[in-house]
């Protein structure tokens, strides 16, 4: 079974061909980061237009690289949410057109569930039940996956998502967009104990997260050291100290969830799962407690079409089909009705452009 996976929820136009849910025949990512970098965040209108230009050539490239014709595809999987409304619409409209023209089933995939299934591409069948930690640009969710496709929500962010916090702090430090990879890199040269930033909610007994106070603390520190002539700002130390505060809370809550649920597998998912400090600290501390941690390879952590094709294949196997009149849902939840935080809904700034960051 050859699945065409289409991902356009944010600023990556991802198209992939995946065989039987596990073998990646091709995985094309037309990234728009240079387009958005000068705005310091994703501009939804720019993203939508870029998806229109990039999507069909990406489909052709994915077929060429995979050595197949479009007609060889058995089903079309596409991200239907959460994400930016206009960006999602481009992928959904294209996927419907391919499904109709080729007379193949359409599989509407939740983007976050796609991130979780990226693990299958690297590790094969998921050991279930598992504690699942989804950390991306728009989400922080701690879940339990009891069986294929069945999730329970333990907790989530009450304000900023993990990736959002990395991107905002990077902006404050003048490091550009996206911020996560740069902070990850600079932090390796910094002292994680240099500045004691707050670890919000670390001992509150819940599985919720809060990062807006930490972001403000970094902002105050940066301002104080830029204005204050005495002490010079050490960007590497600030990056390392910020990242350590984030990772401390994440590791503590994820492992407590595993212990309290009596589950010995943790699955990481989402762009922030590429963070080298999170991966190293979590694996190290989990090993001491006989908990196994699986994470996709860093390239498959961030948005791509292969994870969507993979999740779509599992839906197909369960006999699920998506009707052709399905719409894009920018606020799609993993568990319907649960979730305080909307998805990456852009906030208006200055009346002209809008970004999801700030």
Q: Is there binding between residue 303 and Zn ion (CB under 5 A)?
A: yes
Half-sphere exposure of 5 (CA within 13 A, CB side): 40
Distance of closest approach, residue 297 Cβ to ligand KG4, in angstroms: 12
Contact 241, 247 (CB under 8 A): no
Closest to ligand KG4 by CB, 84 vs 130, is 84
Beta strands 2-7 and 75-81, pairing class: parallel
Choose one: 25-33, 132-140, 223-231, 311-319; the region binding ligand KG4 (CB under 6 A).
Answer: 132-140
Cα 13 versus chain centre, distance: 14
* 3-state SS assignment for residue 224: helix
Distance of closest approach, residue 223 Cβ to Zn ion, in angstroms: 31
| One residue of 180, 190, 312, 330 binding ligand KG4 per CB under 6 A | 180
Q: Is there binding between residue 127 and ligand KG4 (CB under 6 A)?
A: no
Q: Is there binding between residue 166 and ligand KG4 (CB under 6 A)?
A: yes
Rg of the Cα trace of the chain? 20
Instruction: Name the binder of 274 from Zn ion, ligand KG4, none, CB < 5-8 A by kind.
Output: ligand KG4
| One residue of 149, 181, 198, 213 binding ligand KG4 per CB under 6 A | 181
Binding track over 244-283 against ligand KG4, x by CB under 6 A:
--------------------------xxx-xx--------
**Residues with Cβ within 8 Å of residue 154, at least 6 apart in sequence:** 131, 142, 143, 144, 207, 257, 261
Backbone angles phi, psi at 213, to 5 degrees: -65, -40
Backbone angles phi, psi at 330, to 5 degrees: -60, -25
Q: Is there binding between residue 55 and ligand KG4 (CB under 6 A)?
A: no
Distance of closest approach, residue 170 Cβ to ligand KG4, in angstroms: 7
Binding track over 296-315 against ligand KG4, x by CB under 6 A:
------xx------------
Distance of closest approach, residue 272 Cβ to Zn ion, in angstroms: 10
Distance of closest approach, residue 334 Cβ to ligand KG4, in angstroms: 13
Closest to ligand KG4 by CB, 2 vs 162, is 162
Instruction: Name the binder of 333 from ligand KG4, Zn ion, none, CB < 5-8 A by kind.
Output: none
Give the helix/strand (H/E) hosting 27: strand 23-31
Taking the C-alpha atoms of residue 140 and residue 271, their distance in angstroms, rounded to an integer, is 11
Q: Is there binding between residue 136 and Zn ion (CB under 5 A)?
A: yes
Q: Is there binding between residue 81 and ligand KG4 (CB under 6 A)?
A: no
Give the helix/strand (H/E) hosting 147: strand 140-147
Contact 118, 296 (CB under 8 A): yes
Closest to ligand KG4 by CB, 99 vs 304, is 304
> Among residues 165, 168, 251, 256, which one has the least CA distance to residue 206?
256
Distance of closest approach, residue 338 Cβ to ligand KG4, in angstroms: 18
Taking the C-alpha atoms of residue 275 and residue 116, their distance in angstroms, rounded to an integer, is 16
Distance of closest approach, residue 270 Cβ to Zn ion, in angstroms: 6
Taking the C-alpha atoms of residue 290 and residue 293, their distance in angstroms, rounded to an integer, is 10
What residues line the site for ligand KG4 (CB under 6 A)? Answer: 10, 136-138, 163, 166-167, 178-181, 184, 270-272, 274-275, 302-303
């Amino acid at each position: 079974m050859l699945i065409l996976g289409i991902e356009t929820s944010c600023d990556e136009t991802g198209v992939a061909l995946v065989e039987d849910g596990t073998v990646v025949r091709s995985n094309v990512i037309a990234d728009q980061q240079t387009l958005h970098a000068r705005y310091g965040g994703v501009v939804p209108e720019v993203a939508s237009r870029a998806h229109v230009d990039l999507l069909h050539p990406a489909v052709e490239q994915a077929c060429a690289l995979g050595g197949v014709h479009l007609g060889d595809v058995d089903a079309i999987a596409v991200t239907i949410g959460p994400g930016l409304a206009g960006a999602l619409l481009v992928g959904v409209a294209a996927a419907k057109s391919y499904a109709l023209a080729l007379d193949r089933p359409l599989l509407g995939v939740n983007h976050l569930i796609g991130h979780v299934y990226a693990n299958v591409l690297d590790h094969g069948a998921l050991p279930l039940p598992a504690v699942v930690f989804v950390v991306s640009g728009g989400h922080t969710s701690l879940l339990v996956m009891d069986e294929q496709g069945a999730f329970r929500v333990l907790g989530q962010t009450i304000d900023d998502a993990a990736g959002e916090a990395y991107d905002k702090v990077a902006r404050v430090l003048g490091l550009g967009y996206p911020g996560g990879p740069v902070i990850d890199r600079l932090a390796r040269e910094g002292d994680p104990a240099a500045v004691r930033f707050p670890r919000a909610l670390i001992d509150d007994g819940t599985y919720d997260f809060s990062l807006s106070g930490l972001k403000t603390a970094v902002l105050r520190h940066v301002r104080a050291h830029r204005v204050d002539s005495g002490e010079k700002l050490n960007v590497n130390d600030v990056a390392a100290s910020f990242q350590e505060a984030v990772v401390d809370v994440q590791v503590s809550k994820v492992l407590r969830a595993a212990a309290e649920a009596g589950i010995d597998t943790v699955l990481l998912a989402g762009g922030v799962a590429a963070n080298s400090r999170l991966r190293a600290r979590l694996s190290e501390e989990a090993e001491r407690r006989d908990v196994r941690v699986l994470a996709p390879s860093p390239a498959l952590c961030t948005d791509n079409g292969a994870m969507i094709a993979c999740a779509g294949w599992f839906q197909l196997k369960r006999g699920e089909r998506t009707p052709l009149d399905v719409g894009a849902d920018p606020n799609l939840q993993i568990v319907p009705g649960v979730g305080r935080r909307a998805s990456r809904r852009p906030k208006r700034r200055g009346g002209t452009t809008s970004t999801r960051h700030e």
